[in-house]
Amino acid sequence: MTVVFAEVVVTDIVRTALLMACLVAAQAATAKEPAAPRPASFAEHERQCRGKEGWSDPAPPVRIFANVYDVGTCGIVALLVTGPKGHVLIDAATAEAVPSIARNITRLGFRLRDVKLLLSSHEHLDHAGGLSAVQRLTRATMVATAASRAVLESGAPAADDPQKGGLPRFAGVRVGRIVRDGEVVTLGPLRLTAHTTPGHSPGGTSWTWQSCAQRVCRAMVYADSLSAISAEGYRFSDHPAYVAAFRATLAKVARLPCDIIVTPHPTASDLYARLAGTEPLVNRGGCAAYAAAAGTKLDQRLAAEARQLSVR
């Protein structure tokens, strides 16, 4: 992981502010009712992202299903869920990626000012680093769980985050609403349910909702990262309560109503292969398989820690 110090984050925010100001001016000059969405083809996305999977590598916007679009980067999902009363953006990659995310939203034909709510998966730089800049651009309300609020607002990693020693800070975002596990966030007809899913981070959150294309409706899941990774020197086996919460998260994700799963890192759920048509987009066992694979890796991590302890 490349460490980005606080000073560098601030510099990136200043640099992107100039680019975003141009976007705002362009939208103000051409303000009108949005036309039909204009997503890129996946072939265009594939061409632009070939050989790239960086957190900030610009990618064109693609439709996942119905009113759900990936407006993020080649390596990080930023999920736009659109509705007649406004739109919801889940995650915003890095501060450096925000101008690309903003361009993607406008390319689709949506107005930045119509993004009304910001949600997050987990409170790390590669997913939350751009939220502050997006909030300034859209004036959207940040919605978060109590467990993630302090980190989202400060940009400083939580003391109990397994990755704390290797996490860079990011510019904090103002949280305007706290949600509980199972609480529904509404915006017009949009209804997204929050599921607290700690493990990869203490404030991890997954989101579920239903999206419909004409008469075909799908249970959508934005499942948080579930990888058991840490900073050097951290041992999961030294934190049994955290591991128990992690296992509860895996069981919860496996039980979610799940037709189409999307994850913050697209490769974790084979999103690009599914958008390309080489794997099924709809897979009702996708969440269970995702959780099972993460559980296997957690078991392997704990076994490796036990072996290291035994040879000391």
Q: Catalytic one among 45, 87, 124, 195? A: 124
Largest CA distance in the chain: 68
Give the dihedral sign, CA 216/86/94/178.
Answer: negative
Q: Catalytic one among 122, 222, 224, 272? A: 122
Q: CB of 160 within 8 A of CB of 242?
A: yes
- 234 as an active site residue: the answer is yes
The residue to which tokens 């799908």 are assigned: 218
Q: Catalytic one among 87, 200, 270, 290? A: 200
Q: Catalytic one among 114, 181, 242, 265? A: 265
- In the 3-class helix/strand/coil scheme, how is the chain assigned residue by residue? CCCCCHHHHHHHHHHHHHHHHHHHHHHHHCCCCCCCCCCCCHHHHHHHHCCCCCCCCECCCEEEECCEEECCECCCCCEEECCCCCEEEECCCCHHHHHHHHHHHHHCCCCHHHEEEEECCCCCHHHHCCHHHHHHHHCCEEEEEHHHHHHHHHCCCCCCCCCHHHCCCCCCCCEEEEECCCCEEEECCEEEEEEECCCCCCCCEEEEEEEEECCEEEEEEECCCCCCCCCCCCCHHHCHHHHHHHHHHHHHHHHCCCCEEECCCHHHHCHHHHHHCCCCCCCCCHHHHHHHHHHHHHHHHHHHHHHHHHCC
Pairing of β 216-222 and β 205-213: antiparallel
Q: Catalytic one among 57, 70, 126, 270? A: 126
Q: Catalytic one among 114, 234, 239, 242? A: 234
Q: Catalytic one among 57, 69, 91, 127? A: 127
- 127 as an active site residue: the answer is yes
- 265 as an active site residue: the answer is yes
Q: Where in the sequence numbering do the catalytic residues fall? A: 122, 124, 126-127, 200, 234, 265
